C-alpha cells in the first residue's frame, strides 16, 4: 500500500511546488495527486481554494502548469502522478489539448471534478485515459453503479462525517471495500477524506485499500520541511 500526497501545483510559485514534490519524494512518497488550479474550485475547502487562487495570481498560464508536471515526472520516474483537474479548467485548456498532454506524458489517472454532465468525461475515457469516481462512505447505489462502469480507480471516502447518513450494511471501511470488490470492481481503491493521522493510514490498510490520500495534514506542514518529511515517514510506516 502507498500514501498519496497532495501537491498544490504552482503554490506559492511553480518553482516552489516543484521543489516541494522533490521533498515529498525524498521522504518516501511514491504517489502524488497534482492539481491544475481552477479559477472556480467550488468543491474545495477554503484552504485548498485559497492555494489555487494564490497559484493563479502568481501564474495563470496553464501551459506552465503542464510543463511543471512533466518536469516532476521526468525527475521522479518512480513516482505515480494522479492529475486533478476541474472540468472548467479542462474546457479552458481545451479538451483535446488536455487529452493529448496526458497521453503524451503517460498521465493516465485523472481526477475530473465539477462535472456539468458526462460529455467531457466520456471524451477523456474514450481517448484511453482513466477517470476516477468518488464513492461516499454510506455507499449510495448510484455511486456504486458509476464505479462499476468507470475505468479508473475508486476514490472511497475513508471516514464518515458526523452528520452523514449511515448504511447499516456497511458500517466499517472494510465492509465498504469488500462490497466494492464483491461487485466485481478490480481496479485500485484509494481511500481519502478524514485521513489525518498515522492510525488512519493503518485503518485504510487493514480495510484492504490500495492507497490512502493524506491531504491537508501534510500541506499544513509546508513551512516546516523537516517536520513535514517526518510526518510523511510516519504515514508511510503504516503502509
Q: Render pLDDT for 79-116 as a digit per residue (tens, 0 to 9).
A: 999 999 999 999 999 999 999 999 999 999 999 999 99
Among 1-10, 85-94, 158-167, the range scoring the smallest mean pLDDT is 158-167
The C-alpha atoms of residue 176 and residue 110 are separated, in whole angstroms, by 22
What's the mean pLDDT in 71-80?
Answer: 98
Q: Which three cell numbers stand for residue 79?
A: 513516482
Nearest to 109 by CA among 94, 90, 124: 124
**What's the pLDDT score for residue 215?**
85
- Eight-state DSSP code of residue 131: E
Which strands form 154-157's sheet, in the order they lie side by side? 130-131, 109-113, 80-86, 31-35, 2-7, 211-214, 189-192, 154-157, 133-135
Chain-centroid distance of CA 155 in Å reads 8
**Quick one: pLDDT at residue 84?**
98
pLDDT at 227: 98
Q: Which residues contact 224 (CB under 8 A, 6 or more apart)?
A: none
Structural domains in the chain?
1-235 (3.20.20.70)
Contacts of 168 (CB under 8 A, 6+ apart): none
Q: pLDDT tens-digit profile of 176-218?
A: 999 999 999 999 999 999 999 999 999 999 999 999 999 899 9
Give the pLDDT confidence of 35-52 residue by residue, as tens digits: 999 999 999 989 999 999
What is the tens place of the pLDDT at every residue in 126-162?
999 999 999 999 999 999 999 999 999 999 999 999 9
Judge residue 169's burial from the number of C-beta atoms within 10 Å of its C-beta, 0-12 exposed, 13-18 middle, 19 or more buried.
exposed
Do the Cβ atoms of 147 and 133 come closer than 8 Å? yes
Of the chain, the end-to-end C-alpha distance in Å amounts to 5
For the question of whether the overall pTM of this predicted structure is more than 0.85, the answer is yes
CA atoms within 13 A on the CB side of 168: 0
Amino acid at each position: 500500500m502507498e500514501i498519496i500526497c497532495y501537491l498544490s501545483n504552482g503554490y506559492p510559485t511553480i518553482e516552489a511546488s516543484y521543489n516541494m514534490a522533490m521533498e515529498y519524494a525524498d521522504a518516501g512518497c511514491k504517489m502524488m495527486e497534482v492539481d491544475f488550479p481552477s479559477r472556480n474550485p467550488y468543491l474545495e475547502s477554503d484552504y485548498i481554494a485559497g492555494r489555487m487562487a494564490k497559484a493563479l495570481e502568481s501564474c495563470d498560464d496553464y501551459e506552465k502548469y503542464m510543463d511543471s508536471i512533466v518536469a516532476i515526472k521526468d525527475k521522479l520516474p518512480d513516482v505515480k502522478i494522479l492529475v486533478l483537474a476541474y472540468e472548467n479548467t479542462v474546457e479552458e485548456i481545451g479538451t483535446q489539448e488536455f487529452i493529448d498532454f496526458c497521453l503524451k506524458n503517460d498521465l493516465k489517472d485523472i481526477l475530473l471534478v465539477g462535472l456539468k454532465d458526462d460529455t467531457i468525461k466520456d471524451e477523456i475515457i474514450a481517448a484511453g485515459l482513466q477517470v476516477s469516481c468518488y464513492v461516499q462512505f454510506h455507499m449510495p447505489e448510484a455511486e456504486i453503479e458509476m464505479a462499476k462502469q468507470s475505468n479508473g480507480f475508486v476514490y472511497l471516502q475513508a471516514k464518515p462525517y458526523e452528520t452523514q447518513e449511515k448504511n447499516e450494511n456497511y458500517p466499517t471501511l472494510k465492509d465498504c471495500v469488500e462490497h466494492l470488490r464483491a461487485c466485481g470492481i478490480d481496479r485500485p481503491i484509494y481511500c481519502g477524506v478524514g485521513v489525518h493521522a498515522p492510525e488512519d493510514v493503518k485503518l485504510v490498510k487493514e480495510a484492504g485499500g490500495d492507497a490512502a490520500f493524506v491531504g491537508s495534514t501534510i500541506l499544513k506542514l509546508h513551512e516546516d520541511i523537516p517536520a513535514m518529511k517526518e510526518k510523511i515517514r510516519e504515514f508511510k510506516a503504516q503502509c
